[in-house]
């Protein structure tokens, strides 16, 4: 099986002798003298500024990385404009993948939504679309994420708590009732059962007469980050990766506008990783997926343009922007130089962003609007393709209509009132931003070498490497917060003693009862002989190397439930148990 070979192939290309700085003759001499002059002035400024007192705090990023007092040309001594920056829409895409940026098209405003029943979530989708949302994003509840039907004892008590319950095709049909899925792109944040839920979505399109090649959207389908951080896995790594490659292969052939993996750093970051760890571990996972797909025999240019990424945007404004810019540059070099991709679209790193849920608090929840605004602005200045902004009640409950509308309006104000969309990459060339971007790239190179030394991504997961790195970072951040080495407004400083004054959304028991009655009716009224035959065919195919997507579509078309399908695969492949000690 493929292992991520995360070594020297990603190293920044070396400069070539006298032509390093793009100048020759008198130009080179002038450039050298400019650099020397900048160094002398910086040294003099350092001496003078050392006499001016600073606040007695540690100046550091959210990731605990130190920040210097000043950045100037001396911090970019090895920096090359063409190699490291270039123009928007040009390799290595540091400044963005499109030459016109948001002057050509705004990012997709894709608010993550899902709670309780399919009917309630359908109403929320329509509410958001009426208020200007431009794409859908589905949150599923915990039993669904683990591949259980709502009435399974393993999922009891978790109905609707973090998303919508989907136990069969009937639920997904209600979820998208009245929504033109041939016109609106849909993202579904689900991984271990992603192939099953995607099969349901494809069957809905077929039943409506919509050609599969017209569908646009994304399934998260990133099982590696489940083993690394989120722990919503079902099967062991090898069969799980087989299922991921099955979806990539099927999508490449029949659903060419669909992103069949959203390689996710978001959950890695929410587990406590630093910005650098989020970036390095996510890109390493991406390399692993590409390796498995090419070993299946897929041409890299046939599927790489449909890979997408998903990043967390936390409070440190410039660190997050640098992360996004470094991500594009590193991925472009990986795809072109390591995997030999020839299509420039294969070099693009396209990404969805979500503001940092972990940064929001129940204390003074109105302050969360400010945090989310800063994070969303960083995502936009980092060049995101789509964006979800968390609601102010994130730390208390699932979002109310009121809170979700404010979160959407935050994006609309950034888009139409802030002025940041008027020019492409307005921070490009900033000494500070470019130095942070370079530091992020060097840090990723270092992590790639460490992962390669362990044998690749899956051996590193099995040894607990990623889990220990994240746990150490989370502990350090909490220790710094508890020691007041960093200030969290309203949490460890600037406190008030008053209850939240916001509406709270609650899940109703009536919704759960409707869902359970529908599930029972489906099992009673469907053709159970046909269901058994199609599950038997799926079981036989799971023991071979066949692509499972056609078998999954046949099963869900007969209204086999999510739990029935996943439990069948559990009997064939087993379940993953994490054995490492962090």
pLDDT digits (tens, 9 = 90+) for 114-156: 888 899 999 999 999 999 988 999 999 999 999 999 999 998 8
- CA-to-CA distance for 143 and 262, rounded, in angstroms? 21
Mean pLDDT of 350-373: 96
Among left, alpha and beta (phi > 0; psi -120 to 50; other), residue 564 is: alpha
Tell me: pLDDT of 277 over 60. yes
CB 565 within 8 A of CB 552: yes
In whole angstroms, how far apart are CA 68 and each of 48, 61, 271, 363, 427? 15, 11, 28, 32, 18
Give the span between the Cα atoms of 452 and 8, in whole angstroms: 10
26 pLDDT above the threshold of 80: no
Q: What per-residue confidence (pLDDT) applies to 489?
A: 96
CA atoms of 333 and 227, how far apart (whole Å): 27
Residues in the chain: 582
Task: Tell me the mean pLDDT in the region 179-205.
Answer: 97
Residue 276 has pLDDT above 90, yes or no: yes
| DSSP reduced 3-state for 450 | helix
Is the pLDDT reported for residue 53 higher than 50?
yes
What distance in Å separates the CA atoms of residue 439 and residue 318, rounded to the nearest whole number? 12
State residue 204's pLDDT score. 98
Residue 49 CA to residue 428 CA, distance in Å, equals 27
Question: Residue 20 to residues 34, 35, 78, 82, 330: CA-CA distances in angstroms?
Answer: 15, 14, 9, 10, 20
What pLDDT does 580 receive?
57
Q: CA 91, CA 328: separation in Å to the nearest integer? A: 9
With a cut of 50, say whether residue 2 has pLDDT above it: no
pLDDT tens digits along 513-552:
999 999 999 999 999 999 999 999 999 999 999 999 999 9
Alpha carbon 181 to its chain centroid, in Å, reads 22
Per-residue pLDDT at 14: 54
Q: Edge-to-edge, what's the strand order for the sheet holding 258-259? A: 258-259, 217-219, 186-189, 135-139, 108-113, 386-388, 351-355, 307-313, 261-264
Indicate the Cα dihedral angle 181, 515, 529, 575, nearest 10°: 90
Positive or negative, the CA dihedral 172, 173, 179, 182 is: positive
Tell me if residue 258 falls in helix, strand or coil: strand
State how far the Cα of 447 lies from the Cα of 438, in Å rounded to an integer: 14
Among the listed ranges 26-30, 213-217, 477-481, which one has the minimum average pLDDT value? 26-30
Sign of the torsion angle spanned by Cα atoms 313, 316, 321, 322: negative
Which CATH superfamily, name and number, covers 108-482? Methylmalonyl-CoA mutase (3.20.20.240)
Say what the pLDDT of residue 397 is: 87
Domain ranges for the chain: 108-482
| pLDDT value of residue 32 | 61
Per-residue confidence (pLDDT) for residue 12, from 0 to 100: 62
Tell me: pLDDT of 359 over 80: yes
Contact in structure between 421 and 102 (CB atoms under 8 Å): yes
Q: What tokens appear for 495 in the block?
A: 């406190």
Q: What share of the chain has pLDDT > 90, as a percent? A: 85
Q: Distance between CA atoms of 110 and 91, rounded to whole angstroms?
A: 27
Which residue intervals of 297-400 are DSSP H helices?
300-303, 317-333, 344-347, 367-381
Averaged pLDDT, 453-459: 97
CB 265 within 8 Å of CB 25 = no
pLDDT at 114: 87
Classified as helix, coil or strand, 188 is strand
Residues 6+ apart with CB under 8 A from 44: none
What φ, ψ does residue 325 adopt, rounded to 5°? -70, -40
d(CA 403, CA 303): 38
Q: How far is CA 212 from CA 217, 220, 256, in A?
A: 11, 18, 8
> Is the separation of the CB atoms in 414 and 106 below 8 Å?
no
Dihedral pair phi/psi, residue 549, rounded to 5°: -60, -45
Q: Which two tokens stand for residue 557?
A: 């078309």
Please spell the DSSP secondary structure of 478-493, one letter per residue: HHHHHTTSS--BTTTB
Task: State yes or no: pLDDT of 28 exceeds 80.
Answer: no
Whole-number pLDDT of residue 24: 41
pLDDT at 27: 47
**Cα 211 to Cα 214: distance, rounded to the nearest angstrom:** 6
Residue 23: per-residue pLDDT: 36
Which H or E element spans position 275?
Answer: helix 275-296
- Split at pLDDT 50, 70, 90, the class of 13 is low
pLDDT tens digits, one per residue of 309-356:
999 999 999 999 999 999 999 999 999 999 999 999 999 999 999 999
Give the separation between CA 490 and CA 495, rounded to whole angstroms.
5
pLDDT at position 116 is 83
Q: What's the whole-number average pLDDT of the chain? A: 92
Output Rg (C-alpha) for the chain, integer angstroms: 25
């Amino acid at each position: 099986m493929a292992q991520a070979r995360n070594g020297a192939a990603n190293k920044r290309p070396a400069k070539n002798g006298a032509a390093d700085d793009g100048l020759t003759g008198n130009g080179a001499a002038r450039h050298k003298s400019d650099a020397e002059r900048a160094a002398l002035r910086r040294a003099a400024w350092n001496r003078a500024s050392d006499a001016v007192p600073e606040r007695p705090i540690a100046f550091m990023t959210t990731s605990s990385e130190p920040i210097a007092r000043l950045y100037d040309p001396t911090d970019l001594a090895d920096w090359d404009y063409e190699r490291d920056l270039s123009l928007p829409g040009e390799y290595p895409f540091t400044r963005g993948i499109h030459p016109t940026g948001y002057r050509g098209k705004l990012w997709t405003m894709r608010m993550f939504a899902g709670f309780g029943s399919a009917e309630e979530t359908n109403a929320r989708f329509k509410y958001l679309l009426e208020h200007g949302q431009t794409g859908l994003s589905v949150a599923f509840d915990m039993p669904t994420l683990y591949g259980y039907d709502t009435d399974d004892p393993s999922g009891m008590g978790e109905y609707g708590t973090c998303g919508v319950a989907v136990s069969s095709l009937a639920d997904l049909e209600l979820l998208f009732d009245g929504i033109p899925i041939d016109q609106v792109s849909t993202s579904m944040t689900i991984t271990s059962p992603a192939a099953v839920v995607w099969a349901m979505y494809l069957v809905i399109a077929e039943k409506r007469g919509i050609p599969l090649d017209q569908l646009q959207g994304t399934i998260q389908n990133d099982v590696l980050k489940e083993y690394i951080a989120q722990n919503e896995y079902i099967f062991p790594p090898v069969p799980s990766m087989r299922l991921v490659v099955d979806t990539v292969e099927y999508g490449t052939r029949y659903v060419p506008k669909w992103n069949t993996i959203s390689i996710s750093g978001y959950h890695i970051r929410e587990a406590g990783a630093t910005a650098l760890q989020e970036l390095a571990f996510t890109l390493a996972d991406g390399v692993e997926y590409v390796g498995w797909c090419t070993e299946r025999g897929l041409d890299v240019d046939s599927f790489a343009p449909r890979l997408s990424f998903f990043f967390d945007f936390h409070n440190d404004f410039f660190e997050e922007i640098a992360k996004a810019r470094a991500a594009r540059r590193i991925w472009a070099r990986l795809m072109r130089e390591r995997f030999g991709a020839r299509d420039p679209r294969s070099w693009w790193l396209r990404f969805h962003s979500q503001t940092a849920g972990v940064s929001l608090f129940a204390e003074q929840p109105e302050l969360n609007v400010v945090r989310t605004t800063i994070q969303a602005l960083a995502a936009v200045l980092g060049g995101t393709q789509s964006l979800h902004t968390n609601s102010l009640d994130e730390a208390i409950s699932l979002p109310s209509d009121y809170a979700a509308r404010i979160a959407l309006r935050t994006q609309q104000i950034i888009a139409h009132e802030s002025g940041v969309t008027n020019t492409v990459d307005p921070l490009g060339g900033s000494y500070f931003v470019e130095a942070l971007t370079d530091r992020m790239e060097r840090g990723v190179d270092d992590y790639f070498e460490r992962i390669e030394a362990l044998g690749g991504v899956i051996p590193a997961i099995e040894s607990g490497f990623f889990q220990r790195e994240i746990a150490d970072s989370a502990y350090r951040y909490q220790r710094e917060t508890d020691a007041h080495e960093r200030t969290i407004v309203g949490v460890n400083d600037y406190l008030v003693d008053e209850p939240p004054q916001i509406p709270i959304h609650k899940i109703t028991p009536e919704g759960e009862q409707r869902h359970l009655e529908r599930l029972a009716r489906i099992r009673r009224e469907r053709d159970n002989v046909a269901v058994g035959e199609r599950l038997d065919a799926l079981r036989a195919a799971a023991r071979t190397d066949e692509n499972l997507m056609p078998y999954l579509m046949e099963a869900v078309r007969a209204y086999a439930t999510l739990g029935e399908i996943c439990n069948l695969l559990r009997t064939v492949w087993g379940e993953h148990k994490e054995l490492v000690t962090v």
